[in-house]
Amino acid sequence: MKLRSSLNRFHLSPVNGEKMSNILLDTLKNQPLICAEGYLFEMERRGYLTSGEFVPEVALEHPEVLENLHKEFQHAGSNIVQAFTYNGHREKMRVIDKEHLLEPLNRAALRIARKCADNPPKGLDVSLMAGNISNSNIWEHNNPKIQAQVKSMFAEMVQWAKEEKADFIIGETFYYAEEAFAALREIKKSGLPSVITISPMGENKMKDGYTILETCKKLEELGADVVGLNCFRGPATMLPYIREIRKELKCHVAALPVPYRTTEQHPTFFNLPDNNGCHCPSPHGRTFPTAMDPLQCNRYEIGNFAKEVFDLGVKYIGVCCGASPMHIREVAEAIGLRVPASRFRENMSKHFMYGSDKKIPKHMKEYGNVA
């Protein structure tokens, strides 16, 4: 099946009162969707984003770099191109004294994503573009004034995404349940399909008291098309909740962990300790966000997570902060997809010491056991 989002817009005006089709759900009926998130860390590693601030100015200052990263993720199997507008909201732009760049940054990121989604690499049969809204970091429980401000921030970003032809909107990384509900309501007003993913902190519940399952059930009740978890948690501490959510919800479920070895004692990556012999800790005194390299999952752990959740019936899978194209290819292949990057899948049979090929000299194979 060849499905190009540019040819199959779900948000065409209905005819004679007919219900508009939903390109997100229509696609999920036929195949899984893979979403590369976590652009923040990858852009920071490449030297195009300031750690700590974590604002996607790259969309304006180096659009070619952002476009190339989208293409790398597509090559690896991401059939969702998520516009890099995470932390590109009014409040964050105000904090860094660049609020005047708010709309230009958003539109630039959306247009780059739309361009990439409309021009996928050969071998990627589905290509959808998603707009993005996320945690505001100012939401307060029982503060109507602040909540109205956040809703206004969501509304303008959703409107820009709709104008730039997004196929659906992702609302992500919410640790207040009520903020996630507010984000969904703003998306629903646009008529666009929605993916809402929450990110509970280390208390293993939302900051306004909702349990994780309660929050997901309410999101389903409010009409979210896809509901689940993203960010903060690695495979080990996300999987138990995905099992519970998949069991209890009827809608599609999303699972997008970070590629770090979080534990029951440290369920998120914010306070992970480095007990691997580090002699040069970060200047800010914690591993997050720039000293977590020794704490990463290997690619096979990410692939194993993807296979486990897929077998549970989860069809919207990805990797969040810390993701690289390597991880995305692992996700794709773990759930049975062959993607453009599969052309370069590892082939250890040809390795000069560890290979099994008959053409490799016997003495080199023997040396591999003692090297």
Q: Where are the alpha helices (DSSP H) in 198-348?
A: 212-221, 235-248, 299-312, 325-334
pTM: 0.93
Where in the sequence is the domain holding 144, given as residue range(s)? 20-338
Contact yes or no for 196/180 (Cβ under 8 A) = yes
Is the Cα torsion angle 336, 301, 204, 282 positive or negative in sign? negative
CA-to-CA distance for 247 and 251, rounded, in angstroms? 10
Residue 147: strand, helix, or coil: helix
177-204 pLDDT per residue, tens: 999 999 999 999 999 999 999 999 999 9
Q: Is 352 within the bounds of a domain?
A: no
Q: Work out the mean pLDDT of the chain and round it to a whole number.
A: 94
Q: For the segment 99-128, what is each residue's pLDDT rounded down to a tens digit?
A: 999 999 999 999 999 999 999 999 998 999
Domains held by the chain: number: 1
* Domain-located, residue 371: no
Residue 68 has pLDDT above 50, yes or no: yes
Q: Is 361 inside any structural domain?
A: no
Q: Which residue has the higher pLDDT, 16 or 118?
A: 118
Q: Per the domain annotation, does 279 fall within a domain? A: yes
- CATH (domain of 183): 3.20.20.330
pLDDT tens-digit series, residues 197-239: 999 999 999 999 999 999 999 999 999 999 999 999 999 999 9
> Which of these, 332, 317, 329, lies nearest to 28 by C-alpha position?
317
